[in-house]
Amino acid sequence: MSLKNKLTRMKKHIIREEGEGSSVKPPAEDVSVDLPFLDLWKDNGSTLYFIDDDFCLVREKRYPLHHQHGKYTFKEFIKAVDAWQGFTGEHPLSSKGMSHDEMFFFDTETTGLGGGVGNTIFLLGHGKVTDTEVIVTQHFLPQPGSEIPLYHSFLSNVNYNALVTYNGKAFDWPQVKTRHTLIKDHVPKLPAFGHFDLYHGSRRLFKHKLESVKLINVERNILGFNRVDDVPGYLAPMIYFDYIDRKDPEGIFKVMTHNELDILSLITLYTHLTFQLLNVHEQATGEERFEVGRWLEYTGNRLIAKERYEALIKEDKTPNYDAIHQLALQYKREQQTDKATELWERTQEGAPDSIRKTALLELAKLYEHKTKDLKLAMERCEQLMALIGKTEEGSKKDLTVSENLIHRMDRIKRKMYK
3-state SS, 21-43, equals CCCEECCCCCCCCCCCCHHHHHH
Same domain, 105 and 245: yes
Looking at the structure, do residues 272 and 399 belong to the same domain, yes or no? no
What phi-psi label fits residue 390: left (phi over 0), alpha (psi between -120 and 50 degrees) or beta? alpha
**For residues 211-238, average pLDDT:** 95
- What is the reported pLDDT for 10? 42
Is 119 in the same domain as 252? yes
Q: Is 50 exceeded by the pLDDT of residue 210? A: yes
Q: Are residues 57 and 194 in the same domain?
A: yes
What pLDDT, on a 0 to 100 scale, did the predictor assign at position 379? 96
**Band of pLDDT at residue 19, cut at 50, 70 and 90:** very low
If we measure between CA atoms, which residue out of 307, 317, 215 comes closest to residue 266? 215
Is the CB of residue 217 less than 8 Å from the CB of residue 41? no
Residue 290 C-beta-side C-alpha neighbours within 13 Å: 19
Residues 344 and 208 reside in one and the same domain: no
Looking at residue 16, what is its pLDDT? 34
In this prediction, residues 253-258 reach a mean pLDDT of 98
Q: Among 244, 277, 310, give the residue marking a domain's end.
A: 277
**Same domain as 297, residue 264:** no
Contact 293, 98 (CB under 8 A): no
Radius of gyration of the chain (CA): 28
pLDDT of residue 33: 77
Is residue 252 located within the same domain as residue 299?
no
Tell me the pLDDT of the chain averaged across its residues: 89
- Say if CB 75 and CB 142 are below 8 A apart: no
**Stretch 47-65: mean pLDDT, rounded?**
95
pLDDT of residue 394: 57
DSSP-based three-state secondary structure for 320: coil
| pLDDT at 117 (0 to 100) | 56
**pTM of the prediction?**
0.88
State pLDDT tens for residues 374-403. 999 999 999 999 998 765 555 777 888 889
Report how far residue 35's alpha carbon sits from residue 166's, in angstroms, rounded to the nearest whole number: 33
Query: Is residue 150 located within the same domain as residue 261?
Result: yes
- According to DSSP, the β-strands at 162-165 and 103-110 are parallel
Q: Are 74 and 63 in contact (CB under 8 A)?
A: yes
Over the stretch 75-122, which tens digit does the pLDDT of each residue have? 999 999 999 999 999 999 999 999 999 999 999 999 986 655 568 999
Judge contact between 67 and 73, C-beta under 8 A: yes
Q: Which residues contact 308 (CB under 8 A, 6 or more apart)?
A: 279, 289, 292, 293, 296
> In whole angstroms, what is the distance from residue 153 CA to residue 125 CA?
12
Contact 133, 62 (CB under 8 A): yes
Residues 313, 342: one domain?
yes
Comparison of pLDDT for 157 and 44, the residue scoring more: 44
How many domains does the chain divide into?
2
Distance (Å, whole) CA 261 – CA 259: 5
Q: Is the pLDDT of residue 27 over 70?
A: no
Q: Examine the domain organization and report whether 151 and 297 are in the same domain.
A: no
CA pair distance 334, 343, nearest whole angstrom: 14
Q: What is the CATH number of the domain that holds 384?
A: 1.25.40.10
Give the span between the Cα atoms of 25 and 47, in whole angstroms: 12
Q: How far apart are CA 227 and CA 216, in angstroms?
A: 8
Same-domain status, 90 and 181: yes
Domain that residue 74 falls in: 3-27+35-277
Check whether residue 353 and residue 381 sit in a common domain: yes
The three-state secondary structure class of 208 is coil
Last residue of a domain, one of 277, 298, 321: 277
Question: Under a CB-based contact definition with an 8 Å cutoff, are residues 151 and 122 in contact?
Answer: no
**Last residue of one domain, picked from the residues 277, 295, 318:** 277
Task: Flag whether pLDDT at 24 surpasses 70.
Answer: no
CATH number of the structural domain spanning residue 157 = 3.30.420.10
Q: At what angle do helices 353-369 and 374-389 cross, to 10 degrees?
A: 160
The one-letter code for the residue type at 112 is G
294-312 residue pLDDT tens: 999 999 999 999 999 999 9
| Pairing, β 103-110 against β 68-69 | unpaired
- What per-residue confidence (pLDDT) applies to 259? 98
pLDDT at 194 over 80: yes
Output the pLDDT for position 392: 52
pLDDT above 90 as % of the chain: 77
Give the residue from 112, 206, 208, 73 showing the smallest Cα distance to 216: 206
171-187 average pLDDT score: 92
Mean pLDDT of 18-42: 65
Over 90: is that where the pLDDT of 23 sits?
no
Q: Measure the CA–CA gap between 319 and 343, rounded to whole angstroms.
A: 11
**Which residues on neighbouring strands pair with residue 105, listed in sequence order?**
127, 164
